[in-house]
Structure 1
């Protein structure tokens, strides 16, 4: 079963939307395409790709719950994360189910469960909250908050690939 989940995640061409793209309003489809680009950049072997889809002035809030007795929230400026990311090695794949996509003018929110693979192994899962901003060059991830839960919680959270 584990090998099947890993293979499915690595072969996935795009994150999982709650609805098919043709069922979304045009502005939601644009935001979903930008979220897809964000996840493709995470999985890219060119570590600089992530900088093309994020705003360096944003913030990342990591709600780390992998150790239940010592949960913590880490705050990382996007610019700092991009510098670190450019030096990472390994293969990373993240699949997210877009359960909620809200758009109001040049502001959007994408919310839903995800699973994160590091070097073909489930590292963690949780819930993503992507705050998106429309810029002159298109939609970008401005801020993101996400929970990090141990792999044993993926099914409960409804992470892609973990049937409930």
Structure 2
């Protein structure tokens, strides 16, 4: 019994280290997604998303505040990236990350600001669902919100 008490702290430390390693890998997948988006890099994006990723956007439809959602596909996002001229820069700036992991699934909550052609466009939050595939994490679902009201851009330095 005293050997177990002696080993318990080491087991606990290894468990914490394994969880921290997974958090780094999950955050890497999400950061790679934004690196790819902001850099218009289709190949980098495809490395961190499943080909059948579900993408949805929650939007306010009109002055009454009625909410709805739109389905998108990865091809829609890639088209946006490739069809936006290089003379028109865009940048999605992530303000924070909140991660949750359980075994082979992870959730990332990431508030953001979106800048288009040097101007603040909108803000919202990205909700990522990821799954572990071998030793890497892949994004399987992305739900985002977009709004112009109640946005407080951190800065115009993007």
| TM score, norm. by length of structure 2 | 0.71
SS at match of 1:31: helix
Deviation at 1:108, TM superposition (A): 0.6
Gaps of 5+ in 2: 1-16
Partner in structure 1 of residue 36 of structure 2: 41
Question: Shift of residue 60 of structure 1?
Answer: 0.8
| Alignment coverage as a number of residue pairs | 136
> Residues 55, 131 of structure 1: CA spacing in aligned structure 2 closer, same or farther, 3 A cutoff?
same
Larger relative contact order (CA 8 Å, sep ≥ 6): 1
Report the Cα distance in structure 1 between the residues aligned to 2:118 and 2:42, rounded to whole angstroms: 17
TM-score, scaled relative to structure 1: 0.69
Taking a change above 3 Å as real, the CA distance of residues 139 and 147 of structure 1, as seen in their structure-2 partners, is: same
Residue pair 1:57, 1:142 contacting (<8 A) in 2 also? yes
Q: Tell me which residue corresponds to 1:88.
A: 84
Unaligned runs of 5+ in 1: 1-21
**Deviation (angstroms), 1:51:** 2.3
CA distance in 1, matches of 2:132, 2:90: 26
CA RMSD, 1 decimal: 2.7
The CA deviation at 1:135 is 2.0
Q: Distance in 2 between matches of 1:68 and 1:147?
A: 17
| In structure 2, C-alpha distance between the alignment counterparts of 1:139 and 1:68, rounded to whole Å | 39
Find the counterpart in structure 1 of residue 69 from structure 2.
73
User: Structure 1 residues 56 and 80, CA, compared in 2 at 3 Å: closer, same or farther?
Assistant: farther
Q: What displacement does 1:107 show?
A: 1.0
Counterpart of 1:141 in structure 2 is 139
- 1:10-41 C-alpha deviation (Å, 9 max, x unpaired): xxxxxxxxxxxx9x822111111111111111
What's 1:5 paired with?
none
Secondary structure in 2 matching 1:153: coil
Residue 118 (str. 1) matches residue 116 (str. 2):
yes
Counterpart of 2:55? 60
